[in-house]
Structure 1
Amino acid sequence: MREVPQRLAVGEARWPEDRALVERLFRDYVAWAGGDLGNENIEREAARLPGRYARPHGCVLIAHAGPDPVGVAAYRRRRTGVCELRRLFVRPVFRGLHIAEVLLDGLLESAVEAGYRAMAIEVGDRMTIARELYQRAGFAPDRRRAPTRPGLIALRRSLVASTPAARSSEVVEG
């Protein structure tokens, strides 16, 4: 079993310096997910980085444990006032250390600062641990939006008058 460094650092991706690292972490996520992301094209997304993840409408966070890049998470604008959580991934050897929670909290804070009113995500119906994380973070089923393909669940979380410490599952229009 690998010993985890005591220090976890989470920071925003710097472009173009972190482009190759973000691409590698996104590809690790796709491989972990079984390579099936439906109609998503990881090749096109990787070629366009930062693309829709660039400020002011998007954000990519990278987690490092010591010198090792161990996780990534991103959001991008879905439509006015609503961003979409994407690619939350922690390398398997580093799971169980609350790195995903730290990344998610950072994205929620960033999205609030960027003026978003809600954050949405589609999660695989078999991703029990991920769904539990999102539920603890205040995400609830988005009954107004159908998932883009079978096997996914649409979730949404209000960001209105909230911070990661003050979570709400209120659904906002938008």
Structure 2
Amino acid sequence: MSDLQIRPVRYGSPVAQRLVQAIYADQEERYGSSDGAPVEAMEFDPPDGGFLVAYLSGEAVGCAGWRSHGESEEIAELKRLYCAPAARNRGVASALVAAVEENAREHGRKRMILETGDRQPEAIALYAKLGYADTEHYGFYKDESGVVSMARDL
């Protein structure tokens, strides 16, 4: 997809926050509430994280980020993967995951973990297609029903 560009941005930037709000709206529809896990914008600042936005023909259509997991210098957590409905099934989400993984690898991370929910079957299928497998639950939602935790080595 020659018109796809993926660029780093600050998590607190207006373009990132517009996309994050779209994530929350989707979660509200699926779950009745949006992600309550605590997130600080600075967690996505290098070298401890990164946040990327995908642009198709100049329009911001998706995002994804990573942050360090706990005190680990080797484990990254994938957060805030989103692709606008009009851009879905065009490889944007896969390209975002690949770019986030590369960015995390460049900062010394060797493993990526993530949490999603069982009401996001398309996300689970994407992660499985990209080599992610079930792993033990962790973090904010570890004791919640419906949580799906996945991981893969980078």
Change (3 A) 1:125 1:112: same
Corresponding residue number in structure 1 for 2:152: 157
Residue type at the aligned position of 1:9: Q
Corresponding residue number in structure 1 for 2:86: 93
Identity of aligned residues (%): 26
Change (3 A) 1:144 1:93: closer
What stretches of structure 1 move > 4 A for 4+ residues in a row? 144-147
Instruction: Name the larger-Rg structure.
Output: 1
Structure 2, unmatched stretches of 5+, are none
Question: Is 2:20 the counterpart of 1:26?
Answer: yes
TM-score, length-scaled by structure 1? 0.76
Question: Which of 117, 136, 139 matches 1:143?
Answer: 136
Deviation of 1:145 (Å): 4.5
Structure 2 counterpart SS, 1:33: helix
Deviation of 1:124 (Å): 0.9
CA RMSD of superposed structures (Å): 2.2
Structure 1 counterpart SS, 2:46: coil
TM-score, length-scaled by structure 2? 0.86
Structure 1 counterpart SS, 2:145: coil
Aligned length, in residue pairs: 147
Question: Is 2:43 the counterpart of 1:52?
Answer: yes
Written as runs of structure 1 = structure 2, the 5 A alignment for 1:1-174 is 7-13=3-9, 15=10, 19-34=13-28, 36-40=33-37, 45=39, 48-49=40-41, 51-79=42-70, 80=72, 81-143=74-136, 145=138, 147-148=141-142, 149-159=144-154
Residue type at the aligned position of 1:11: R
